[in-house]
Structure 1
Amino acid sequence: MLEIVGIIAGIVAATSILLFGSRGLVDLVRGIADRKKRVNDHSSTVQESIEAVTSPPTIPDSTERPPSLLTEIPAVSTGAVFVGRKRELATLKSALEDAVAGRGRVVMLAGEPGIGKTRIVEELASYATATGSQVLWGRCYEDSGAPPYWPWIEVMRARVRDFDASQLLEQMGPGAAHIAEIVPEVRVKLPGLAAPPELEPEQARFQLFDSMTTFLANTSRLQPLVLALEDLHWADTSSLRMLDFLGSRIANTHLMVVGAYRDEEIPPEHPLSQTLGSLSAEPSFRLETLRRFSAEETASLIEATGGLPPTEDLVQRIQGHTEGNPMFVGEVVRLLEEQGGLDSSEADKGAALEVPESVRAVTRQRLRGLSAECNQTLLSAAVVGREFDFGLLRRLFPDATEAEVTDALGEATRVRLVEELPRQPGRYQFSHSLIQQALAESLSTTARAQTHADIALALEAHYGDRVDTHAVEMAYHFTESQAILGPGRAAHYELLAGESAYTGHAYEDALAHFQSGLTVKGVPFTGNEPAPDAEAAALLFGQGRAQSATLETYEQPLAIASSRRAFDYYDAVGDSERMVFVSESHGRAIARMGSSGVIPMISRALETVPGDSIAAGRLLSLLGRFIGLEDGDYDAAQNTIKRALEIARKQGDEAAEIQALISSAVVNAYEINWRAAIKDGLRALDLVNNIKDPRIEILVRSFCVYPQIATGALEHAKRNAADMLVLAKNLRELLPLSGALWCSELAARLSGEWQVSRDFNDQCLEITPHDVRPILTRTTMEYEVGDFDQGDTYLELLRERLRQTQSGPTLEYGFATLAIPVVSRISGADLGFDVASQSAEVVLNSPSSTLFITSMARAGLALMAVQIDDGAAAGAQYRELEPLRGTILAWTMAGDRLLGIVAQSMGELGKAASHFEDSLSFCRDGGFRPELAWTCCDYADLLLERNNEADRAQATSLLNESLGISTELGMRPLIERVLYRQKSLGT
């Protein structure tokens, strides 16, 4: 029973994707509503590019802002040298002051390696601690085997330590279970915590991000928090997505995020570039680029580091070699100190100094002054990573005594090449990542691989039975040492690391691990050949699932192809259970019109299970849905679903019955069989009360809302939409909330409640910017109220969705075909008939197109024909549009009004009048006020064309009614149209 409930919950996402269209790539929509709101509020204009936020901060006039309490407290010294950076530090302190006041801030520090990014953050951290804030550090590492989300795991661990169990549960709330998926310490403190529900990838990641953001925001009310994120150029994609998510929601918190990255290592295609582009649209964001030191600042640093004022000649020599890079300057000064060159008479006389040409060269020269034991220890530690453990070094040098390893590390610590981590006995880190890199790069390829092998074996022995929980670290070292140890364990740990990353919703990292495992085994990523063995099959299926979570909908056949190779292996060895699992995994995750490749897998899996089993019922339910949507075969789809219903009822399994009813409702909706869809939805709603799962109830109610709106039962739809929204807000999951918001938006828009509709639309697009439905409805709404600029913005987003979608009978193609002629008719301009015509051709030429999609295409062609006065072309679509009588077409216009417009263009005025009368009744009875106003105007046009006395009187009445509604609702284009007609009537 629980298994079936989990599968149905998966359909929530799948069906939502089906109705939403394809995923991703519409970053243009992000924050549109917020920008407009800020303009209306006369608040700060959103910066449209990173360059726009790099200007120096404006110091406010004392009359505009009370004096800061924080500035009265002097900064506390960290004990380390700090020179220059007064303006940048002032910016950071100002941002901290804002965060303390409840105006969260994100500040990014960019600059070359060694420019002082970490040092200025340390200075801020010292100041923040002294003024009552808590600083939480998160670091990113290059190729160190750190798991996904590592900087956030560090931040969360540090914060979790501050609370006992009851406090932690209070601050985390229902999000505790989601956070525990990547922060095990949460479950240690809360051992009775239930496992989170199984969700589709996009929902699961949203839930994790929302839970972590909520926890940090909640606890920042107890004490302001500074989150210091270092080396973001090495951050994994999932960590950057979390940063983006938090940054968009930080404004009303007591949080400050300060991040540092090397700008020279961030090309446009780097994930961090995308994150920065997104964050730059937020008024809470600021970017500071750290520049090299001037000669005066270099002199100050030399004096502070070496303890003596330098000669001008020495300053010029060091400045010339280092070009003012603070770390380079510091390392050169330390080298000269060690060589006795800083205070020598030769230096004072300006004698030639041998200054190395790079930080790496400085590091190598400094190592020459250390013992051989210290050098060997540091070389091995550098291969481990920026941070390393004393215990691991002991294992790497079994012949050395503990005292000898301690002495070696002490020697390196004294010359500040490494440092012991505070509050972490036995843990060390290199004082700068450049030092670690220089050491690691000094090893030959063979020596580095051998060191990785030594580390891998030492870690395996060290972790013992817990080794699988360190799969990412193990995968890194075994993969790097496969030339020494062979590919076997490398592939094993890459598989475990991939599964761990996938479970933690780090799908990009999971994909990298699965593909690394395939590479190790010599298995190509693409192709048709089955997996050669069970491990390869698991890696291919992992690749397929990770691709499904990260690729656009139109790219999903790539994911299916990966999993099909695993499926074929399981088929060959007779593993029916895994065949079913593979089929259902993609059956839940994919929902699109056009061939996905899922149907053959489901059909074959069905042959391997008992015909009357619950597994057969689940597969039949999925198969029926895909036959209806991909093959466009309504009868075959419903016959298949009927068999699934029979099995569910025979077994007495209500969850399986709900699954089948949902599939039936989907197929009925896409065949415009709205009344059957309502029947399915209401039956499923009766059963949901026994399941008690809000996800399923939200989905079921959505299949009451859609057909209720389509058939004119707007008030019933509003009640269901309101119930959905309550459930979704309590659930706090991405796709259920998005679906509930859109249902509420739709009901409000069709009632003429524009601002309510906009608010829901803004929220919907904020969390699911890929959702093509609110893009469609927002486009038409903005044109209806006469805001053509906003309408153009959303119409371009719709076109963008079209460009990013694979050619076929999809929602994107259907919506483009319909929306362009609809808004063109409102505006009186051709807004892309060529695009609409091409889209219609794609839809109508597809043999698998559903009636819902083809109706949009035919309606669009008919409306374009009307607007160019081609009655014959419009008439060619009339018969095919008759099923739209008594419905709302694609949540855009009344089917009867459309038929009336088409009939009028054909010269069938009597038939047109009948359609308009039906539309008047439909709109009045249902409460579709904007559509009623348009129907009144269009019907008046027909009556004026007939032009007899009775018709003119009725036309006058209809125009008055239309003007009253449109004036009340602020429908400017319609108002102008009506006034023009009234003027021609002399009224």
Structure 2
Amino acid sequence: LRRVSSFGRVLLRGLNIDEVRRMLESLTQENIPVGLAEAVHRQTEGNPLFVQEVVRYLTEEKLLTRESGRLQTSGDTALEMSIPEGLRDVIGKRLSNLSNECNELLSFASVIGREFPLDTLKAVADMNDANFVNALKEAVQLSILEERSQLGEIRYRFTHAFFRQTLYEELIAPQRLYIHQQVARSMEKLYEKRLEEHASELAEHFSHSTDHADLEKAVSYGEMAAKRAMGVYAYSEAARLLDQTIKVQKILDPDDKEKLCDLILDLCDTLFPIPDTKRIIEVEAPAAFALAEELNDSSRAVRGCKLAVEAVFVDRFDLGRDIQKVWIDRAERYALPDTPEKAWADATLGSWMFNRGDMHSGEKLIRSALDLARRLDDQYTIQHVLSVAIVMWVAPQYTLEREQLGEELWASVQRSGLRGVVPAAFGQLFDAYLVAGKKQQAEKYLDDLRIIAEKTKMFNVVQFTSLIESDLKIIDGQLEEAVKMSKEVRARSEQASVTLFSGSGARVHIYLGRPVEIPESMLRSFEGRVSNCLILAHQGQIEETSKIIDRYVIKRTNFGTDEDLFPTFADTVFLEVSILIGHSQAAEMIYNRLNGTDVRTGGARALPCIARLLGGAAALLERYDDAREHYKEAIKVCTEMRFRPEMALTRLELAELLLDHYPDEKAEALEHLDFAINEFREMKMQPSLERALRRKDILKA
């Protein structure tokens, strides 16, 4: 073919991780977690044939198990240690065509690693120069190795990981042990001025030794490599390195509980941004806490509690869960007075109490914790407590304070990095700006957050960045784009087995007139139940929504007083629902609570312009002049925020008000109506468009 003039070589790349995951799901008809897809990709390099063979092997050998509705490799099965028999035969035939010298050289190379420097191979291979060069040339010509030279260094790489693995497995244990030791010592000399760059390889080679001093080096280099991986946001690699380091430490000195506890806590830090919260909650945090208890070490104990609490929040979403309270109580037990640990524990307990309904006691604890954190000037703790306050203090009376706390939090983040921010605070800081009607500040915050998300690749930061982008798309009237982004966020959450819900996701479907359903898991959360109430109201289920309104509005203790700390977003939704179903009593109660406050919108979880809803409530209560003034205020707010859907809805409702109660204002009403119709068409807000057109038809008739 090479001699044919029309011949051309087409280089095919392997599948990427996401493509491998989709192929696995197609082959197994199961949900595949990212970790398993990464392992298969690492093993097969995305070669579709190899992917298929690996899946067949894992299935036939019963090495896959179902856990929480998802496939995982069973027990301690290491995917990298498994070569399907069919592939082993193919690889064996390729290697059998090599000379003895070439096979010997490749055996040394297989111990060094998938990729290796020529100098290291030369140092450990017991061959004369002529045989070495000939064997190396043969391996390259037969495409077992490929040259990967770079400035100042000649490197080689196995063309596929399976070649390296097969050769490695053919060595007997004493051979492997000897070569690993030789490689480790050679690399230490070769890279004595760049040990950190090669810490991962050094840790791997020293870990295969039986010598005590070598194992100590394996632990030291393992920690160094993990720290370096975290520094470049390679969280999965850092977790893999610490897993290996912990295994070595248990062999080296299982009685050194301080070291083991620290390694497990560091491992939890790497698992959190992946996120592998389930493992933190069920395995690593309990193990670290048990060791800290044995040591009677309060600092380590509280650190373990912190990691568990934050993991439960991400994994389960609801701050009020009982499992979280267990860890909070443990933190309170071990946190010493006037320490960052005490401030963290009190703030977290305050958030739990707040979420369980004891809001005033919770607020006092959070304020006390914030005073202590500021006094100690501990940025991690300051960020944590500020995050808790922003997440919890969502009643109308907190609007200005919450915005100020958000500014303080973000200033700390920009000074000190993301050290103690509760994940939900990323969304709630944006919410604070929206509630206050500060869209420009919200957009500036998004720009900063987007930079952090792109740099760190932290799952929670990426997810909340996308949710905020989706909310701003809704405000700008790009509703289809918002739907697309919302679906992507949900898909990533499901893929990572974490719960992340957006009330605005339901809102955009309502704007577009499309069916929407709250996931069953989210109906257990308060936010999910509130959003579901709005959906039921739009579906015309008046009896069901009336029961919800009676429970959360009519029968609410201390309604509308300073003691009422009920969330702004919830009363925003309940006001909208009350107007929809004609519940005058509830509408008047919420109207009186929200009127005259600093609240401009329902925030990220509800979105509507408050002045528009106040206008609707006033109209329902037959206070038409008040309704007209509220609609004028809504137009002002929506103009400042460039809030297209709410502007169109406001002008439609104002047109309806004028047509029904101000017959002399027909010209103005028609102007508002025509504006709304054009906007609804452009944004594809079908239910509102049909409502506006019906009004126009009545006028024509």
TM over 0.5: yes
Residue matched to 1:772: 467
Residue matched to 2:343: 617
Matches within 5 A, 1:38-53: none
Matches within 5 A, 1:732-771: 732-734=451-453, 771=466
- Runs of 5+ unmatched residues, structure 1: 1-80, 92-106, 112-231, 241-259, 271-356, 524-529, 740-764, 825-830
Residue matched to 1:679: 401
Q: Is the alpha carbon distance of 1:419 and 1:546 closer, same or farther for their aligned partners in structure 2, counting shifts above 3 Å? A: closer
Q: Does 1:509 align with 2:208?
A: no
Q: Does 1:984 align with 2:679?
A: no
Q: After TM superposition, give the deviation of residue 859 of structure 1 in Å.
A: 3.2
In the comparison of the two structures, how many residue pairs are matched?
579
Q: Is the alpha carbon distance of 1:803 and 1:781 closer, same or farther for their aligned partners in structure 2, counting shifts above 3 Å? A: farther
Q: After TM superposition, give the deviation of residue 640 of structure 1 in Å.
A: 1.6
Residue-by-residue CA offset, 1:852-900 (whole Å, 9 max, x unaligned): 665434333333337x898956865764632566652245323465577
State the AA in 1 paired with 2:692.
V
Matches within 5 A, 1:904-915: 909-910=620-621
Q: Is the alpha carbon distance of 1:912 and 1:542 closer, same or farther for their aligned partners in structure 2, counting shifts above 3 Å? A: farther
Q: Is the alpha carbon distance of 1:359 and 1:912 closer, same or farther for their aligned partners in structure 2, counting shifts above 3 Å? A: same
Distance 1:390 1:798 in 2: 45
Distance 1:636 1:267 in 2: 58
Q: Does 1:823 align with 2:548?
A: no
Residue matched to 2:330: 604
Secondary structure of 1:549's aligned partner = coil
State the AA in 2 paired with 1:556.
T
Q: Is the alpha carbon distance of 1:955 and 1:600 closer, same or farther for their aligned partners in structure 2, counting shifts above 3 Å? A: farther
Task: Answer whether contact 1:666 1:677 (CA < 8 A) is retained.
Answer: no
Secondary structure of 1:410's aligned partner = helix
Residue-by-residue CA offset, 1:361-385 (whole Å, 9 max, x unaligned): 46534415x5xxx764553334334
Task: Say which structure, 1 or 2, has more relative contact order (CA 8 Å, 6+ apart).
Answer: 1
Q: After TM superposition, give the deviation of residue 458 of structure 1 in Å.
A: 1.8
Range with greater deviation from structure 2 (912-921 or 496-505) = 912-921
Q: After TM superposition, give the deviation of residue 409 of structure 1 in Å.
A: 0.7
Matches within 5 A, 1:208-247: none
Distance 2:180 2:167 in 1: 20
Distance 1:649 1:584 in 2: 19
Distance 2:14 2:492 in 1: 33
Distance 1:725 1:84 in 2: 56
Matches within 5 A, 1:808-887: 811-812=501-502, 814-824=503-513, 831-832=514-515, 835-836=517-518, 842-843=522-523, 845-846=524-525, 849=526, 855-865=530-540, 876=550, 879=554, 881=574, 882=590, 887=600
Distance 1:983 1:475 in 2: 78
Give the CA RMSD over aligned residues.
Answer: 5.5
Residue matched to 1:200: none
Task: Answer whether contact 2:387 2:409 (CA < 8 A) is retained.
Answer: no
Secondary structure of 1:927's aligned partner = helix
Residue matched to 1:461: 185
State the AA in 1 paired with 2:286.
R
Q: Is the alpha carbon distance of 1:543 and 1:459 closer, same or farther for their aligned partners in structure 2, counting shifts above 3 Å? A: same
CA radius of gyration, larger in? 1
Residue matched to 1:320: none
Distance 2:206 2:236 in 1: 21
Distance 2:408 2:215 in 1: 55
State the AA in 2 paired with 1:572.
E
What is the aligned counterpart of 1:937 among 641, 646, 652?
652
Residue matched to 1:364: 96
Q: Is the alpha carbon distance of 1:82 and 1:863 closer, same or farther for their aligned partners in structure 2, counting shifts above 3 Å? A: same
Secondary structure of 1:593's aligned partner = coil
Q: Is the alpha carbon distance of 1:109 and 1:667 closer, same or farther for their aligned partners in structure 2, counting shifts above 3 Å? A: closer
State the AA in 2 paired with 1:984.
I
Residue matched to 1:556: 277
Residue-by-residue CA offset, 1:114-141 (whole Å, 9 max, x unaligned): xxxxxxxxxxxxxxxxxxxxxxxxxxxx
Calculate percent identity across the aligned residue pairs.
Answer: 16
Q: After TM superposition, give the deviation of residue 508 of structure 1 in Å.
A: 1.8
Distance 1:440 1:535 in 2: 32
Q: Is the alpha carbon distance of 1:499 and 1:955 closer, same or farther for their aligned partners in structure 2, counting shifts above 3 Å? A: same
Matches within 5 A, 1:515-594: 515-517=243-245, 533-551=257-275, 556-561=277-282, 562-584=284-306, 592-594=317-319
Distance 1:407 1:482 in 2: 34
Distance 2:457 2:208 in 1: 43
Distance 1:654 1:380 in 2: 50
Residue matched to 1:410: 133
Could you tell me the TM-score, scaled by structure 2's length?
A: 0.64
What is the aligned counterpart of 1:888 among 601, 616, 639?
601
Q: After TM superposition, give the deviation of residue 934 of structure 1 in Å.
A: 1.4
Task: Answer whether contact 2:118 2:156 (CA < 8 A) is retained.
Answer: no
Secondary structure of 1:937's aligned partner = helix
Distance 1:433 1:678 in 2: 61
Residue-by-residue CA offset, 1:131-164 (whole Å, 9 max, x unaligned): xxxxxxxxxxxxxxxxxxxxxxxxxxxxxxxxxx
Secondary structure of 1:458's aligned partner = helix
Distance 2:612 2:148 in 1: 73
Distance 1:476 1:821 in 2: 55
- Whichever structure has more helix as a proportion of its residues is 2
Q: Does 1:960 align with 2:671?
A: yes
What is the aligned counterpart of 1:720 among 419, 441, 456?
441
What is the aligned counterpart of 2:637 among 926, 941, 946?
926
Matches within 5 A, 1:387-406: 388=116, 392=120, 396=124, 405-406=128-129
State the AA in 2 paired with 1:406.
D
Residue-by-residue CA offset, 1:545-583 (whole Å, 9 max, x unaligned): 3321213xxx62432332232123113202233334444
Distance 1:921 1:468 in 2: 64
Distance 1:560 1:576 in 2: 19
Task: Answer whether contact 2:430 2:445 (CA < 8 A) is retained.
Answer: no
Distance 1:922 1:461 in 2: 75
Distance 1:871 1:378 in 2: 72
State the AA in 1 paired with 2:515.
G
Matches within 5 A, 1:701-720: 706-707=431-432, 709-711=434-436, 714=437, 717-720=438-441
Distance 1:807 1:386 in 2: 34
Could you tell me the TM-score, scaled by structure 1's length?
A: 0.48
Q: After TM superposition, give the deviation of residue 984 of structure 1 in Å.
A: 0.6
Task: Answer whether contact 1:515 1:543 (CA < 8 A) is retained.
Answer: yes
Distance 2:54 2:653 in 1: 51
Distance 1:696 1:388 in 2: 36
Task: Answer whether contact 1:937 1:959 (CA < 8 A) is retained.
Answer: no
Residue matched to 1:220: none
Residue matched to 1:643: 368
